[in-house]
Amino acid sequence: MDYGLTEEQREIVTLTDRIGREKIKPVREHYDVTEEFPWPIYEEIKRAGLLGVYLPEAYGGTGGNTLEAVLLSEHLSQACPGISLAVTTSAPCAIPILLFGTPEQRTRWLPDLASGDRLGAFSITEPSAGSDATALRCTAKPDGDGYVLNGVKNFCSGGEAADVYVVFASTNPARGARGISAFVVEKGAKGFTFGKKEKKMGIRASPTLELHFQDCRIPKENLLYKEGFGLFVAQASFDFTRPAIAAQAVGLATGVMNETLSYIRMRRQFGQAISSFQAIQHMMADCAIAVESGRALLYATARAMDKGLNPAIAKAIKDDTIVYDEMKSLGVERWSMESAMSKVVCSDAAMKIAVDCVQMCGGIGYMRDFPIEKFMRDAKIMQIYEGTNQIQRNEIAAGMIRLSAQENPS
Ligand SMILES: Cc1cc2nc3c(=O)[nH]c(=O)nc-3n(C[C@H](O)[C@H](O)[C@H](O)COP(=O)(O)OP(=O)(O)OC[C@H]3O[C@@H](n4cnc5c(N)ncnc54)[C@H](O)[C@@H]3O)c2cc1C
């Protein structure tokens, strides 16, 4: 379908597809088995200038936004969702800095994340705080001209490979959810070390680690936005990062469908290609319907978000203000429900499509020297991270009830 992409957006697609075909597919099994960070691929994508496609030119990006981030994740994931996540893990770090950072903070961290000279990561989850982020125990005690960070975060994508982390901790535990604040922490800070590296079912090219903070001092200049607004920073940032998860799912679904189609056209049983059986054709048609519906919702959501976000970014850069404050002053909508819907629709579709593709391929689909089973293992996480699909449904329903109450107060 023609989604009316601009020339620059089509260029992202063409370049990413070429890297996927020529560089990622030949090595994806290696990184799945070894669970190493795919540095050579990262360097390739960095050289192609693709790592900053979603960041403003003023900070070394190429001036795109959510839709550009979506296209990059989608087309990398067609070749390998694990490598796609590993190389784009800076986005959930850069987006809260872009939205909530002061002009100084934007200038300090975004150019290196845009160029790929430094890799970013995002860490809110803790062993006792997953879906319920308000239960986090990590503390950032105000102390003189900074904060002292203590506690353990877990399941941090990017792990030890990253250099810059957006970390959430409580500056005032007595205030519960309203005591949580967001900080930028750099690798090498005294008292910041790494713990367990997880062994995972899928997306194994992307490292997932614990972060340990023991009396780790961070300067007050590293506080993002205001004390006590951490949860708000996280939630508003998720609106803009969840489309990239939906994009991973759309890319995965497209990749696994394409590779399955090649196989079922060639595989013969009962004297004919298995692609000629109606039972197989209907499964394939249902896969195509689901993925295209998801993609249409995702692109529409990303476009709607960017329409509001881009003027706010331009104004914040011109006036040396904070992007989120400009979004508020310009009355920009957040599209939280649509962002959550895109993540649910696309990740649920990708999971079902990957399972169906294994089924269509039969026994070979189950084997590790054939790429289909890896797509199935990679798909599951998309229904879990950045908020499980149950949590997304809770948020969508809460949004519907809120809107109804606004429209029909009684
Ligand atoms: C590979 C991987 C990478 C990750 N990367 C990152 C990262 O980079 N940064 C980061 O901060 N986090 C990361 N995470 C954490 C991820 O976001 C959480 O795992 C996720 O939010 C779910 O939290 P949980 O695992 O504690 O599950 P739990 O919260 O324990 O949930 C368990 C089950 O209960 C359900 N449930 C919980 N509460 C409700 C409710 N109110 N209503 C309905 N159902 C509910 C959930 O949907 C789920 O099915 C990653 C996780 C994984 C596995």
Domain of 381: which CATH number? 1.20.140.10
The secondary structure element, H or E, covering residue 345 is helix 336-361
**Closest protein CA for atom 21 of ligand 1:** 387
Which of 198, 196, 192 shows the shortest CA–CA distance to 214?
192
- Per-residue tens of pLDDT for the chain, all 410 residues: 899 999 999 999 999 999 999 999 999 999 999 999 999 999 999 999 999 999 999 999 999 999 999 999 999 999 999 999 999 999 999 999 999 999 999 999 999 999 999 999 999 999 999 999 999 999 999 999 999 999 999 999 999 999 999 999 999 999 999 999 999 999 999 999 999 999 999 999 999 999 999 999 999 999 999 999 999 999 999 999 999 999 999 999 999 999 999 999 999 999 999 999 999 999 999 999 999 999 999 999 999 999 999 999 999 999 999 999 999 999 998 899 999 999 999 999 999 999 999 999 999 999 999 999 999 999 999 999 999 999 999 999 999 999 999 999 97
234 and 372 assigned to the same domain: yes
How far apart CA 257 and CA 291 sit, in angstroms, is: 10
Closest residue CA from atom 12 of ligand 1: 125
The CB of 241 under 6 Å from ligand 1? The reply is no
pTM: 0.97
Kindly state whether residue 314 falls inside one of the protein's structural domains: yes
Q: Nearest to residue 82, comparing CAs of 223, 224, 194, 207?
A: 207
Q: What is the pLDDT of residue 352?
A: 98
User: Do 205 and 163 share a structural domain?
Assistant: yes
Ligand 1 touching residue 382 (CB < 6 A): no
Residue identifier of the C-alpha nearest atom 43 of ligand 1: 390
Its domain, for residue 273, covers: 230-407
CA 390 to ligand 1 center in whole angstroms? 10
pLDDT at residue number 334 = 85
Query: Can you tell me which atom of ligand 1 is nearest the CA of 125?
Result: 11
Q: Are residues 184 and 52 in the same domain?
A: no
| Dist. CA 90–CA 94, nearest whole Å | 6
- pLDDT confidence of residue 94: 98
Secondary structure (3-state) at 150:
strand
Q: DSSP labels for 62-91?
A: -S--HHHHHHHHHHHHHH-HHHHHHHTTTH
- Candidates 208, 201, 198; CA nearest to 377 is 201
CA of 122 to the centre of ligand 1 (A): 14
Active site (annotated) includes residue 395: no
CA dist., res. 103 & res. 98, Å (int): 9
With respect to residue 2, please indicate whether it lies within any of the assigned structural domains: no
Which of 82, 115, 148 is the last residue before a domain boundary?
115
Angle at 178 between CA 121 and CA 89, to 5 degrees: 10
Last residue in a domain, options 224, 243, 260: 224
Ligand 1 pocket: which of 384, 393, 396 to mutate (most atoms within 8 A of CB): 384
Do 30 and 82 contact (CB within 8 A), yes or no?
Answer: no
Cα 124 to middle of ligand 1, angstroms:
11
| Ligand 1 center from residue 165 Cα (angstroms) | 19
Nearest partner of 84 among 32, 34, 130, judged by Cα? 32
Q: How far is the CA of 210 from the centre of ligand 1 (A)?
A: 15
Report CA(248)–ligand 1 centroid distance (Å): 18
Q: Are 399 and 258 contained in the same domain?
A: yes
> How far is residue 220's CA from residue 237's CA, in Å, rounded to a whole number?
21
Q: Is 293 in the pocket of ligand 1 (CB under 6 A)?
A: no
The domain that holds 170 is classified in CATH as: 2.40.110.10
Domain's final residue, options 182, 205, 224:
224
Query: What's the pLDDT at 49?
Result: 97
Q: What is the pLDDT of residue 407?
A: 93
pLDDT of residue 307: 96
- Alpha-carbon span 387 to 343, nearest angstrom: 9
DSSP letter, residue 51: T
Is residue 23 situated within a structural domain? yes
The verdict on 159 and 254 lying in the same domain is no
pLDDT tens digits, 49-108? 999 999 999 999 999 999 999 999 999 999 999 999 999 999 999 999 999 999 999 999
Question: In Å, what is the CA distance from 40 to each residue of 32, 47, 167, 251?
Answer: 15, 11, 27, 21
Give me the number of domains the chain comprises. 3
Do 86 and 136 fall within a single domain?
no
Sign of torsion, CA 36 39 40 42?
positive
For ligand 1, pick from 87, 124, 131, 351 the residue to mutate: most ligand atoms within 8 Å of CB: 131
Residue 12 belongs to a domain: yes
CATH number at residue 44: 1.10.540.10
The answer as to whether 210 is a domain residue is: yes
How many Cβ atoms from other residues are within 10 Å of residue 329's Cβ?
A: 12
Verify whether ligand 1 is closer than 6 Å to residue 131 (CB atom).
Answer: yes
Q: Is 322 within 8 Å of 274 (Cβ atoms)?
A: no
Q: Please check whether residue 11 lies inside any domain of the structure.
A: yes
290 and 169 housed in the same domain: no
Is residue 51 domain-shared with residue 181, that is, in the same domain?
Answer: no
> Are residues 257 and 380 located together in one domain of the fold?
yes
Is 1 a domain residue? no
What pLDDT score does 410 carry? 77
In this structure, the answer to whether residues 253 and 367 fall within a common structural domain is yes
Bridge-based pairing state of the strands 164-170 and 180-186: antiparallel
Specify whether 246 is located in the same domain as 290: yes
**109 plus 257 within the same structural domain:** no
Residue 315 resides in a domain = yes
Which residues partner with 150 through β-bridges?
139
Taking a C-beta distance cutoff of 8 angstroms, is the pair 177, 229 a contact? no
